[in-house]
Structures are given as structure tokens and as C-alpha cells.
Amino acid sequence: MQEPLNELRVLSPTAILGYGFPLESFEEGMRRRPHVIAVDAGSTDPGPYYLGAGYSFTDNNSVKRDLEIMMEAGLRAGIPVIIGTAGGSGARAHVALARDIILSIAEEKGLSFKLAVIESEQDKDLIRQKLARGEVTPLPPAAPLTASDIDEAVRIVAQMGEEPIIEALAHGAQVILAGRAYDPSVFAALGISRGFDKGLAIHMGKILECAAIAALPGSGSDCMFGRLQKDCFILEPLSDARKCTTLSVAAHTLYEKTNPYELPGPGGAIHLYDTTFTQETESSVKVSGSRFVPTDAYYLKLEGVKLVGYRTVSIAGVKDPVMIEKIDAVTAGVKARVRNNFETYGIKDFYLDFKIYGKNGVMALFPDLEKQVGHELAIVIEAVAQSQEQADTICGFARSTLLHFGYEGRISTAGNLALPFSPSDFKAGAVYAFNVYHLMRIDDPREHFPVTYETIGKGR
């Protein structure tokens, strides 16, 4: 039986595995004798492509560098190393990629340990059954899930809570590689398993999953240390160049949330109505009062993507003030010319867009903003079609049409565009869109996340 702890210490090396961290900060964290090293390895922020394609948005060499330091230190100290949302998206392909990196490190460094792998990709038949029983509900603004959505999905993952990770810890796993996980889970699991307050543990995990982003100045490439106690937790960065303040920690608590007082996750939500933030030292902050409130039923968040086509892009610059003044009419004319050219040629189902930087290229989603135009523009021509060949055709024709498009007041009869690259068009490949973004009701938080164990190194 384990002895009770008055304090559980968690080292978070970096905001996402592969983003890196200063070795000095990490070593400072290890000097403080953590009970666990935990790291988030993924996100939906880079969009649906990586889940659909089965690739990671982080570089393998960067991931290997971070993991090598973490694994050697963790095994030397006799503490677990826990990785969540393996490979960036957490599906089987991503977990396999991360496992290969772990095995290569073990072989090169001669490491021996017990590895637990937790899968999170879901079987479509299960989701169909749940849908038929009314146990799948949309997350706004998503529409209700349909059977065709499930059929079209390339991959569907579910966000695990802390329960499968606790199971792996109970079986003595020294390195735990988890598929898609609720971000705070990998940081909270050990504390919850040792009897610490769940609300405080998950709230601390919410901050630690982004490492030193919650410090001043913030950084996703530096370490953060958390000390979980019976009635509070304390956060501090591990670099002398940073500090945590009540404002920086409270602000990060609101990160990615629509309700400032409730942080939803698997099985319930953290209520912050009574949370207090206190400056403990010049660089550390104490947080107390956060409570976990379970939902009536346990829900898992599902994430799935479908293939929608293939993309080609071209980048160009515009300096002519007359064209800049008329750019909306010019691009509308080019779109009409492209559609007219191919409507009888069999290429009808395509998407063509001009992202115009220098004229609300970033803020174009907000139509009521004042239209401010710079003295030069960057135009990204994007074509998406049912095949890469069709996307190439549409993008190339749009680019050449815009290059020589005539407009009132035009003086030059040469090109309208400055093309910085040759070749001018780039095949961006497959395009995916999220089509499953729903909650699935379940009975057992561990049932849909199978855990496998293997002995790595000596005695394998």
C-alpha cells in the first residue's frame, strides 16, 4: 500500500512534445524531485488534416529530442513519464508513430522499462450503435450526427479522461503512451490516483498542459512545475527569466473556454465560482477553491474527419494602386472567368478562394470590420477539387487569369502579379474537414480505451 502524500509534484517540460525546452529549466525541475513527468503531445489547433492523413504536425526529430531527455530522466529517478495525444492527433497511426520513436530511443540508449500503450481510435460500429440508441449528441455549432457522417469519416478518436491512465499506473507502467486524451488528464492522473482532490488536480493540469505559456513572458517552449496539495496547488516556472502572476495564471484558466466559470471535460466540469489566485512568491501562484462537479452521465468527446478533396495553392504579390483599389471586383471577375471556362469541361465541383493579406486577409471572417487596405497586397490563391489534377488545373488557370486580368485604369500590359516562387503553384495534397465533433455517452470510462503492456529492453 502506498504511503499518503502531502504534496504531489508534476514536471511539465513543454506545451507540446516536440516544441522543445531549455535543458537548464528541465534540470531545475528534476532537482525539485517530481513524482511524474507529463506532457501533452497534440492538439486540434493545426486543423483536421493531421488526423485524416495519419501524420504528426510536430517533427519526429524534435519529438525524439524531447522524449529522450524525459525518458532518461524519468527512468533514472524512478518516476513515470506520461504522454497524451500521441503523434499529435492520437489515432492508431499516430500512436504507432510515437511508439516507434520510443523504441528507437530505448534501443539507442539501452533503456529498459514497462511501456503501456492506450489506444483511443474508435470503431465505427460502436458509434453507429450509440447513435441508434440516442447516445450521441452534437457539440454546438455542430449539427446532429448522421450515419453518413460516420461512414465518411476517415478516423474517429475519443478524448480519454484520467481513468485509463490510472489503470496503466496501477499496472506499474513506467512510460505511458496515450492516444487522444483530454489535455489535463495526463497531468492529473497520478494525483487523482493518490487521493488528491480531482477538481484541483484537473485545474492544475489545465495550466500545466501549456507549460510556461501561463508565465510572464509566456513560452510554449519552457518548463513549468506544479505542486498539488490537499487544498490548493502551486505553479511556478523553472526559468529565472519568467514568473507566474495571479493575472497570468487566471488568464490562462480562461484559455479556450466560452464559460469563464466552468471547464468541461470527460465525466464532468471544473467549477471556478469559488476559485482564488494568490501570489505565493514573486514567481509562484497558489490556486484554491476549484471543484469537480460530475455530470449525470459520462460523455466522451468524439473527433472525426472526412476527405473533401485536394488542394493546390499559389502565392503572389500586388503593388499597383489601381488594382489594389479594385481588388474585390478583379478577383470576382477572375472567379467568374474560371467557372465559365470549366463549366462545360466537366470540372464543376471545386472551391476557389483568394486570401488577400493587406486587406483583412486574417480577419475576413468578420464582414463588419472596417476595410483597411495597405499599399501592397499578398494574394494566396487556393483551389480545392475532387482530384489533385483538377485542383492543379483550377489553380493554374486562376493564377494566369489574375496575372493578365484587365481592369479600368490599368496601364501595364505585362503581368499584374509578382510571383516569388518558381514553380508558382504548390500541390498541398489531401484536404480534410471535421465532420464528427460530438459527445458520446458511455458507461465505463476505461472500456473504450484498451491498454496493452510490453517490456522494453532487457527481458523483452
Written as one string, the DSSP assignment of 21-61 is --HHHHHHHHHT--SEEEEE---STT-SHHHHHT--SS-HH
The answer to the question of residue 428 being in a domain is no
Query: What are the angstrom distances between the C-alpha of 289 and each of 270, 273, 279, 282?
Result: 10, 8, 15, 21
The answer to the question of residue 179 being in a domain is yes
| Among 6, 13, 67, 1, CA closest to 38 | 13
Burial 25-51 (b: 16+ CB within 10 A, else e): bbebbbeeebbbbbbbbbbbeeebbbb
Q: Where are the alpha helices (DSSP H) in 352-422?
A: 388-403
Rounded distance, CA 156 to CA 416, Å?
Answer: 45
Pairing of strands 175-178, 113-118: parallel
Same domain flag for 14 and 67: yes
Same domain flag for 296 and 400: no
The answer to the question of residue 92 being in a domain is yes
Same domain flag for 387 and 285: no
pLDDT in the model for residue 347: 87
Rounded distance, CA 374 to CA 356, Å?
Answer: 11
- Identify the domain containing residue 373 by its residue range: 320-417
The answer to the question of residue 60 being in a domain is yes
pLDDT in the model for residue 345: 84
How many of the other CB atoms lie within 10 Å of CB of 96? 15
Same domain flag for 246 and 383: no
pLDDT in the model for residue 459: 47
The answer to the question of residue 430 being in a domain is no
CB 41 within 8 A of CB 85: yes
Same domain flag for 56 and 156: yes
List residues bridging with 430 in a β-sheet. Answer: 310
With residue 113 as reference, give the H or E element that holds it: strand 113-118
Same domain flag for 281 and 326: no
Same domain flag for 151 and 275: yes
pLDDT in the model for residue 3: 65
pLDDT in the model for residue 2: 67
Burial 202-227 (b: 16+ CB within 10 A, else e): bbbbbbbbbbbbbbbebbebbbbbbb
CB 145 within 8 A of CB 438: yes
Q: Which residue's C-alpha cell is 511508439?
A: 99
Structure confidence by residue, pLDDT tens digits, 11-70: 999 999 999 999 999 999 999 999 999 999 999 999 999 999 999 999 999 999 999 999
Rounded distance, CA 421 to CA 418, Å?
Answer: 9
Same domain flag for 209 and 356: no
What's the predicted TM-score (pTM) here?
A: 0.93
Which residues of the chain, if any, have pLDDT below 50? Answer: 459
Structure confidence by residue, pLDDT tens digits, 80-115: 999 999 999 999 999 999 999 999 999 999 999 999
Rounded distance, CA 454 to CA 215, Å?
Answer: 38
Q: What is the largest CA-CA distance in the chain?
A: 85
